[in-house]
Amino acid sequence: MRSISRLKTLLVILSLSLALPVLAMNLQQAMSNLPSAKDQGLVGEQPNGYLGVVKAEGQAAEIVRLINQARREQYQKLAQDNGLPLADVEAMAGQKAIERTTSGHVIQVDGKWVKKP
């Protein structure tokens, strides 16, 4: 009886380990899904230069994680290349991202999520 229970557990673990790579998203997929996530109000731009999760639905958190990781790498490179503090590059990028955000999409203002007029 114990061996059957262990076998079932191993089969579940094996099936999950095989399924997770298929479910994982890459940066290109995240970038492709970003417009839809913004249209749905799931993610928004923040003044710190990074995306934020507005509604934790679907793949919003994974989209945000992947894109923010890529943004951070770019910000660090820009900061290093230009002799600027990372925080300054992040703030400049955040300001530009909010300015470029389409009307009706979500942005963060004073720590609150609002639709851009």
CA-to-CA distance for 63 and 30, rounded, in angstroms?
Answer: 5
Instruction: Decide if 72 contacts 114 (C-beta within 8 A).
Output: no
Q: In this predicted structure, what is the pLDDT of residue 83?
A: 97
CA-to-CA distance for 5 and 80, rounded, in angstroms?
Answer: 55
Tell me the backbone φ, ψ of residue 58, rounded to 5 degrees: 55, -130
Q: In this predicted structure, what is the pLDDT of residue 25?
A: 83
pLDDT, tens digit, 9 for 90 and up, residues 71-81: 999 999 999 99
CA-to-CA distance for 27 and 99, rounded, in angstroms?
Answer: 24
Structural tokens at position 102? 């389409």
CA-to-CA distance for 67 and 69, rounded, in angstroms?
Answer: 5
Global model pTM greater than 0.85? no
With a cut of 70, which residues of the chain have pLDDT below it? Answer: 1-24
